[in-house]
């Protein structure tokens, strides 16, 4: 199976994945090429059986976390959740002026569909104190 979870780092600084859980299952995101992309395969559950996601990253600015359950996940249509049958790309877009949060966005598609669909919603990873 090809990778169906991606994380794109557009923050302007290197990031390390500290922790990434989907449905309480650890997922190892592997860094690709220049370090702007990370990818993994997750197929333990179907996309529509999603219960939650935890992501922690570390950068020069600090460590940031987000914990999203199904009710607080991105607003969008079918295949927006990670899992078998979907292909999701999380995009880290940068910090706020105080560097206390990192903006997280989502594009998604049915696995092997030709084009990603964007979610108009965004989430924040909060800086760990």
pLDDT per residue over 31-89, tens digit each? 987 779 999 999 999 999 999 999 999 999 999 999 999 999 999 999 999 999 999 99
Over residues 20-24, the mean pLDDT reads 98
DSSP calls for 1-63: ----EEEEE-SSS--EEEEEEETTEE--PEEETTTTEEEE---SSBGGG--EEEEEEEETTEE
User: Would the pLDDT of 126 be above 90?
Assistant: yes
Which pTM does this prediction carry? 0.95
Tell me what percent of the residues of the chain surpass a pLDDT of 70.
Answer: 99
pLDDT at 129 over 90: no
pLDDT exceeds cutoff 90 at 1: no
């Amino acid at each position: 199976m090809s990778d169906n979870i991606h994380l794109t780092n557009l923050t302007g600084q290197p990031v390390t994945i500290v922790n990434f859980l989907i449905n309480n299952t650890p997922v190892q995101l592997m860094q690709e090429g220049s370090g702007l992309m990370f990818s993994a395969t997750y197929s333990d559950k179907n996309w529509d059986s999603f219960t939650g996601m935890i992501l922690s990253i570390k950068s020069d600015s600090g460590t940031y976390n987000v914990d999203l359950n199904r009710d607080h996940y991105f607003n969008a249509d079918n295949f927006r959740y990670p899992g078998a049958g979907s292909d999701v790309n999380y995009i880290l877009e940068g910090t706020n002026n105080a560097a206390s949060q990192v903006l997280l966005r989502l594009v998604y598609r049915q696995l092997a569909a030709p084009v990603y669909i964007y979610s108009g919603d965004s989430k924040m990873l909060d800086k760990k104190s």
